Amino acid sequence: MRYFILLSYDGAAYCGWQRQPDAPSVQQTVEQALSTLLREQVEVVGAGRTDTGVNASRYVAHFDSENVKDCAQLVYKLNLILPKDVAVQRVWRVGAEAHARFDAVEREYTYYISQRKNPFRRYSAWQYYVPLDVERMNEAAGALMEWEDFTTFAKLNSNNKTNICHVTRADWCRAAEDEDLLIFTIRADRFLRNMIRAIVGTLVDVGRGRYTVEEFREILHSCDLSRSSAGAPAVGLFLSDVRYDERVEYKEENTIV
């Protein structure tokens, strides 16, 4: 039987989601916990990769097992043995063909910038104190939804079959509870490795006056990685949502925690 698992994690201690032979990963950590509880070797397939240090507030993965008796109890026990920087919110049964990665129709990331020194956000936001023109950054971000080829923001040697992405949302706002906290939300059918951090870094350069909005458009359309700005730090980036159609979102009554 196949199950989806909804989790969140602080990525500071990990090389990213994907299992690596010489560094701790979130995937490996979750697999070890599930294998221990279910008393079988469990492989977990995630909705996508997150890079070293990147966080997730809503990450989805799937695994197969015949030994799950109670999803709520499994969530409870997983949270007892997982490290403090990984938490499971829910486990639910899905169809045998459902796939956490290939059936995802949209992914959403959120990036946080703290514009004043805040010791409570040092592990969850980029501490950046230069004044930024948010209106101009939003105008530039709108160009992302008018373009499909994101080679300008694609990391070299990533072995992508295509650099085409369809962005459906890209905007900045100030947090309602904290005017010094900037929030960038971007949603698309797929993302390239390091793409969001490169976009944020370049939009910040628009906000501080290094580039005009028109120059940002030229950089985007150039398909030239050397023209993008340095990537923003991983600490401020969160995978905040993975969306599926109703078929995949099927849940039995007793599986919601």
Q: Which of 85, 62, 88 is nearest to 73 (CA)?
A: 88
51: annotated active-site residue: yes
C-alpha–C-alpha distance, residues 31 and 19, integer Å:
10
Q: Which of 10, 22, 51, 189 does the annotation list as catalytic?
A: 51
The pair of three-digit structure tokens given for residue 152, joined into one six-digit string: 């300008």
Integer-rounded Cα Rg, in Å, for the chain is 19
Catalytic amino acids? 51
